[in-house]
Structure 1
Amino acid sequence: MMNYVVMMSTNIMAKANRVYKTKVPVTKNQQVEAEVVDITYQGMGVIKIDNFPIFVIDAIPGEVVQVGITKVLKSYAFGRVIKRVKASPNRAENVDKVAITTGIAPLANLKYEAQLTFKQRQVEQLFKKVNVSVEVNPTIGMTDPTKYRNKAQVPVQMVNGQLETGFYRRGSHKLMPVEDFYIQDPKVDEAVSVTRDVLRDLGISAYDEETHKGVVRHIMARRGFYSHELMVVIITNTKKLPEADNIAAALRAKLPELKSFIHNINNHDTNVIMGQWNETVWGADEIHDQLMGKDFIIGPNSFYQINPQTTAVLYTLAAEKAGLKPTDVVVDAYSGIGTITLSIADQVAKVYGVEVVEDAVLDAEKNAQNNHIDNVEFVTADAPEQMTQWAADGLKPDVVFVDPPRKGLTNELISAVSAMQPKTFVYISCNPATLARDTVQILAEGFHIDGPIQPIDQFPQTTHVESVLIFKR
């Protein structure tokens, strides 16, 4: 058990963003020594000099470090470890330093047991902050908390005149060449490296964000954990992919699991990686994978959980806690390609799913058909609006599942769920800060918390954590 207090980034950064009213106590290139007292949501250690926060890569609570100041702002600073005066017993040894430096795996320097405790404490502290008393179970982890990601979206740049793939150094767009991403399926890493080498051999350039010249912006690879079907997507700034047929032939020769090779166009000045236009250069338009006994179609733009091993644990646990009955009518908000909807359909009478992304709904309908499931109905709509409409129409589900994005639920959606008067409200969260915030309103609507919160380590080696919380009426 770690013996430090976890403060989420909302606390740390909110305090840090207050202008320091006296003279800043450190200067660039100065060296200081201090104890690490916290971790930010980015996995950086926090030291304080006269209560002035300094964020330090590869420093964990309980350590005493000598730090060189690298950047000073009005209310906080950044530094790097020069010397570890006292190491923490929770420090993991022989860790890939690139994974920490780039932020690929910001908690890789913590022993895995300590990571699980850290995530449990995250949830506890956030609920304490909103004055909600709730028990938080120990975090459910993985047997092997590495090499679990089934999808990679890797930036491409020209480095020293050569096309490179890798990951950006923290806080910059400077690419660090990387081949082993530590938390990704090795077959996914291999697909990225092979694609990079093919592009090099054919003399195809990387896109330059400053000059707006060049071709390739990203390489995306995804692989079915159970099916072993592989998809490679090359995202370009150009409308044509040079040497497309030759690229396809080379990839087919070097990647025997390849089932789909797609060209995606993104010619907008944006941080969004994938564009909306796809062309299948070779093979199928999608790949398949299995989850909880169901087969799912996965396209280039599909949202599919990146860790199917823990996803099965997460959805099974949520269904068990919901206490589903054969007569139940269920609503699944943010239904995506239908993973939750279809995984519970054979346990209940009817499931309604709502999802705002039209292509995801089309995939969900195909998935239902392919799995011979006919007691589900999907609607393309904004979840809060559709839930409000269903409430107005008098739909009275027995159980409501929500699995929202990190921003959490809107007030309108929570009010709509309340109006539907379900007996059970299942909240699957990927952000404990918004889960805690939303819990306050859910309780105010007349629900009560039923049992402990269960954190699940869906993203080992990172600061993210999934949680399941059940509300009853």
Structure 2
Amino acid sequence: MNTNRSGRGKSRRNTERQGQEMTSAGKSKNNAVRQDRGRDKAEKTGYVTGKSGNKEVLNVRRTEMRPEGEASFSAAKARAEQLEGRESRKTEKRRSGRGRSGSNRGGKDRPARDIAAELGLPVAKNDETVIDIIGMNHDGEGVGRAEGYTLFVAGALPGEKVRVKVLKTKKQYGYAKLLEIVEASKDRVSAPCPIYAQCGGCQLQHMSYEGQLHWKRQMVVDNLKRIGKLNVAGENVGNEVRAHQDVDNGDADSSHPQVDNLGEGTETVHSSGDKAVHEWMNVPNESAGITVLPTLGMDEPWRYRNKAQVPMGEMEGGLIGGFYAKGSHRIVDMERCLIQHEHNDEVVERVKEIGRRVGIRAYNEETGRGLLRHVVVKKAFRTGEMMLVLVTNGDSIPEKDEWIRGIREQLPQVTSICQNVNTKKTNVIFGDVTRVLWGSEVIYDYIGDVKFAISARSFYQVNPVQTEVLYGKTVEYAGLTGKETVIDAYCGIGTISLFLAQHAEHVYGVEIVKEAIEDAKKNAELNGITNATFETGPSEDVIPQWKEQGITPDVIVVDPPRKGCDPRLLETILEMRPERVVYVSCNPSTLARDLRVLEDGGYRTTEVQPVDMFPHTVHVESVAVLVRDL
């Protein structure tokens, strides 16, 4: 369940990295198309449903926290029922003649037991069995084995013995629903959020925070070893088994994993669909290699998000808004989110109430009618200032003055009210036109000692507490003495560049998004920083031009989107040969891939520091430092 970045303010961050923050940390519509699950969830949960365009609406408005005794097991069951419901509907559709025509294409209409026997599988669809969970994949699903056959089980934790029902089988792996926890993990806890079973924003609330931090470090380690083929120091896991699945659990039937035996106790399952399930067993002790430090977590891992992006819909009572349900484009109406700052929740609720009173209609994706698409709220943790952005399908706002007056009276902490106009049929949140309806054009916040101006469309890291930790580690790894020339290859609005400029002789920042560079220059001026230069363009084009101008960096810092560094940028780094490279990553798999390229080109990765920027989700940030081999 997926979702942004490092204060970078760039469009590709706003699409790729906002998997953890786009549409309020819920699943985007693109993901919903790929894994459209659980349209019948309302019938299974007993909640009331409504419609808003082609978005199904689930009204689960509550005000009380879930009692401690109510285990998160219900969340796992609800999530598994989504997959079970999808498979049932596929079968019903084929039987009614609305599915594939012809004679049992691929044998899909044959009994599940016959198909399993033909493939030599130990289990068939709808079988119930008890399995041990040996690890978790990158989506947070438990990984178990039924007589050697891999099953993914939503909601199951490593170390648990569980009873499951098989939902779907493929040649090398399948999916199962969690029915009963026979033996619980020491890391299992009750999820405190009352809508954890429906919302798509968090994936790990049923796991202790200590367990989350350990798992995120191990995910980084496994990617470095498996994808990067890199040596990790001190990794002697003994009898402990871990599993990792790459990319996503796609449904392409052409993806049939191939099994490689890598030696006693170690097995990897590969597929043409870039799916991999990896287990590490009895890995020998390694006396040298990359040091992967324990994940840096938060003292208080709740209420950490400074920005809410809430999709709006309608029910009989008027406007609703919240998050997208797991694996769908169905809105979960909500009053509180336990990872949002409480002031953000308050602003969203007041906006919905005022909108209902003045008769504002939500945007309808099917008809293209209706006004309010999203409500975006930004909170500056250090200054307390707040910005409200109403994303509308058109210029005119009925009863605009009354709406603004109501917001000002009820929400004195809001210092800026803006309107963004987006009339396109798209799931992209913002349009091209933004205007100030009342108050300031920007709000101000600090990361460390650096002050930043945040506009309606500026990207700013959603967890300012951990951002300071992340940037502090970046500066430490850069090893600056005040005499170095530094290049920031994905500088965004200049957040890391301005941090580095306080400790370097000069910093050069490059970013492909023009608006981000304009913000970077303004932020440098705002802080009186004169030893930072910013230029617009692809880093792989601009940096060679700087080289021709005689600019020779001692350190290059990269903070790419989820897809990792452009290959040409890696080539440029190897050609310029700085003494150090600091790599800030939001994706362990592309981090491992790019570190392998740099190591093959003459660099040595010495240390990697995972940082938990998004507690209770499966996302993890990392900072790695590489030094040039002499």
Q: TM-score with structure 1 length normalisation?
A: 0.90
Q: Give the Å deviation of 1:329.
A: 1.0
| TM-superposition CA deviations, 1:388-432 (whole Å, max 9, x none) | 332344421111111111111011001112222211111111111
Could you tell me whether the CA contact under 8 Å between 2:368 and 2:425 is conserved in 1?
A: no
Relative to structure 1, the CA distance from residue 187 to residue 127 in structure 2 (aligned partners, 3 Å threshold; closer, same or farther) is same
Could you tell me whether the CA contact under 8 Å between 1:448 and 1:471 is conserved in 2?
A: yes
Among candidates 215, 229, 236, match of residue 131 of structure 1: 229
- 1:214-229 aligned at under 5 Å gives the runs 214-229=370-385
Could you tell me whether the CA contact under 8 Å between 1:396 and 1:421 is conserved in 2?
A: no
Could you tell me whether the CA contact under 8 Å between 1:398 and 1:422 is conserved in 2?
A: yes
| TM-superposition CA deviations, 1:272-325 (whole Å, max 9, x none) | 222222111111111110111111011121121111111111111211121102
Check if 1:111 corresponds to 2:208: yes
Distance, in Å, in 1 between the alignment partners of 2:401 and 2:557 is: 45
Could you tell me whether the CA contact under 8 Å between 2:292 and 2:607 is conserved in 1?
A: yes
Instruction: State the partner residue of 1:436.
Output: 592
Q: Give the Å deviation of 1:23.
A: 7.3
Instruction: State the partner residue of 1:146.
Output: 302
Q: Give the Å deviation of 1:32.
A: 4.2
Could you tell me whether the CA contact under 8 Å between 1:105 and 1:182 is conserved in 2?
A: no
SS of residue paired to 1:351: strand
Distance, in Å, in 2 between the alignment partners of 1:367 and 1:88 is: 48
SS of residue paired to 1:289: strand
Instruction: State the partner residue of 2:139.
Output: 42
Instruction: State the partner residue of 1:170.
Output: 326
Instruction: State the partner residue of 1:65.
Output: 162
Instruction: State the partner residue of 1:403.
Output: 559
Relative to structure 1, the CA distance from residue 242 to residue 386 in structure 2 (aligned partners, 3 Å threshold; closer, same or farther) is farther
Could you tell me whether the CA contact under 8 Å between 1:99 and 1:181 is conserved in 2?
A: no
Relative to structure 1, the CA distance from residue 456 to residue 369 in structure 2 (aligned partners, 3 Å threshold; closer, same or farther) is same
Among candidates 449, 453, 457, match of residue 297 of structure 1: 453
**Worse overlay, 408-417 or 60-69:** 60-69
Distance, in Å, in 2 between the alignment partners of 1:41 and 1:219 is: 30
Could you tell me whether the CA contact under 8 Å between 1:100 and 1:107 is conserved in 2?
A: no
Distance, in Å, in 2 between the alignment partners of 1:205 and 1:77 is: 43
Relative to structure 1, the CA distance from residue 240 to residue 75 in structure 2 (aligned partners, 3 Å threshold; closer, same or farther) is farther
Relative to structure 1, the CA distance from residue 178 to residue 43 in structure 2 (aligned partners, 3 Å threshold; closer, same or farther) is farther
- Would you say how many aligned residue pairs link Structure 1 and Structure 2? 454
Instruction: State the partner residue of 1:468.
Output: 623
Q: Give the Å deviation of 1:161.
A: 5.0
| TM-superposition CA deviations, 1:75-100 (whole Å, max 9, x none) | 76555433322211111235325235
SS of residue paired to 1:98: coil
Among candidates 104, 125, 135, match of residue 27 of structure 1: 125
Check if 1:448 corresponds to 2:604: yes
Among candidates 241, 252, 257, match of residue 397 of structure 2: 241
Distance, in Å, in 1 between the alignment partners of 2:150 and 2:327 is: 17
| TM-superposition CA deviations, 1:355-402 (whole Å, max 9, x none) | 122221111111111111111111111222222332344421111111
Which amino acid in 1 is paired with 2:229?
A: N
Relative to structure 1, the CA distance from residue 50 to residue 469 in structure 2 (aligned partners, 3 Å threshold; closer, same or farther) is same
Check if 1:260 corresponds to 2:423: no
Distance, in Å, in 1 between the alignment partners of 2:315 and 2:619 is: 31
Instruction: State the partner residue of 2:386.
Output: 230
Instruction: State the partner residue of 1:384.
Output: 540
Quick one: higher RCO (CA 8 Å, sep 6+), 1 or 2? 2
Q: Give the Å deviation of 1:116.
A: 0.6
Question: Which protein is bigger by CA-based radius of gyration?
Answer: 2
Which amino acid in 2 is paired with 1:34?
A: I
Distance, in Å, in 2 between the alignment partners of 1:235 and 1:76 is: 43
Could you tell me whether the CA contact under 8 Å between 1:231 and 1:261 is conserved in 2?
A: yes
Could you tell me whether the CA contact under 8 Å between 2:133 and 2:159 is conserved in 1?
A: yes
SS of residue paired to 2:488: strand
Instruction: State the partner residue of 1:457.
Output: 612
- 1:328-407 aligned at under 5 Å gives the runs 328-407=484-563
| TM-superposition CA deviations, 1:326-349 (whole Å, max 9, x none) | 221111111111111111212111
Q: Which runs of 5+ in 1 are unaligned?
A: 1-12, 14-18
**What is the aligned-residue RMSD (CA, Å)?**
2.3
Relative to structure 1, the CA distance from residue 432 to residue 211 in structure 2 (aligned partners, 3 Å threshold; closer, same or farther) is same
Check if 1:424 corresponds to 2:580: yes
Q: Give the Å deviation of 1:166.
A: 1.3
Which amino acid in 1 is paired with 2:318?
A: Q
Could you tell me whether the CA contact under 8 Å between 1:236 and 1:267 is conserved in 2?
A: yes
Could you tell me whether the CA contact under 8 Å between 1:218 and 1:236 is conserved in 2?
A: yes
Q: Give the Å deviation of 1:460.
A: 1.0
Q: TM-score with structure 2 length normalisation?
A: 0.68
Q: Which runs of 5+ in 2 are unaligned?
A: 1-34, 36-107, 109-115, 232-289
Instruction: State the partner residue of 2:29.
Output: none
Distance, in Å, in 1 between the alignment partners of 2:393 and 2:199 is: 25
Relative to structure 1, the CA distance from residue 114 to residue 237 in structure 2 (aligned partners, 3 Å threshold; closer, same or farther) is same
Among candidates 313, 318, 334, match of residue 474 of structure 2: 318
Could you tell me whether the CA contact under 8 Å between 1:100 and 1:108 is conserved in 2?
A: no
**Worse overlay, 59-68 or 421-430:** 59-68
Relative to structure 1, the CA distance from residue 325 to residue 208 in structure 2 (aligned partners, 3 Å threshold; closer, same or farther) is same
Instruction: State the partner residue of 2:193.
Output: 96
SS of residue paired to 2:164: strand
Which amino acid in 2 is paired with 1:22?
A: L
Could you tell me whether the CA contact under 8 Å between 1:152 and 1:220 is conserved in 2?
A: yes
